[in-house]
Structure 1
Amino acid sequence: MAHPSTSPASWHLTLAGLQRIKQWHLDHQSSHPLEHQLWDAVLTLWVMGWVGWLPAFVLEIPLAYPLCLLGMLAPQLYVRWRVHAHTRGRLRCDWLELAH
């Protein structure tokens, strides 16, 4: 059984954790370029979700609500997926401890 701190169900990501992960990706950009680009894409979706919900609500575009919610949850979902893959031994995640 996985240690509770690495269990995907018990994972909680803070803004400070987002910053530490981003800094790790910047520091290791040359050795992990794809991972760096993927994290930037996740953060872009996160910002789009937060910025887009109000216009979607004001303009009454209910089809955008789930997309905005998914964008807002993108970092949390991505980190949980990485924790899950890491604990199963499918993918190594060097920045995992920084997210706490």
Structure 2
Amino acid sequence: MSKNTVNTGLTPNRPRRVVENDEYAAFVRRVLRAYSRRIASGDVECLALLVQLDTNLHTAIAHAVKGLRAYGYSWAEIARPLGITRQAAQQRWGGDGT
């Protein structure tokens, strides 16, 4: 991981919401693995549905970033846990000028 370069004096103090995101993400990973195993066992027709989930995932990520921006997170704060620069995050998800 990269060093935290966010200036805490300039970053608003937001209360951290208590949610079980780690557990939820693990659940989603288990569901995806199970779905891929079902397809791998001979359901070739559903392969297209699995591939379509890629589009859904990219849409969900963009929605999450937009929500974080609306909640007041800076591009630097969004980029830090991803290990990318704020410029890269803004270029990737900031197409609407946010």
Q: What TM-score results when the alignment is normalised by the length of structure 1?
A: 0.39
Q: What TM-score results when the alignment is normalised by the length of structure 2?
A: 0.39
Select the structure of larger CA radius of gyration.
2
More helix by share: 1
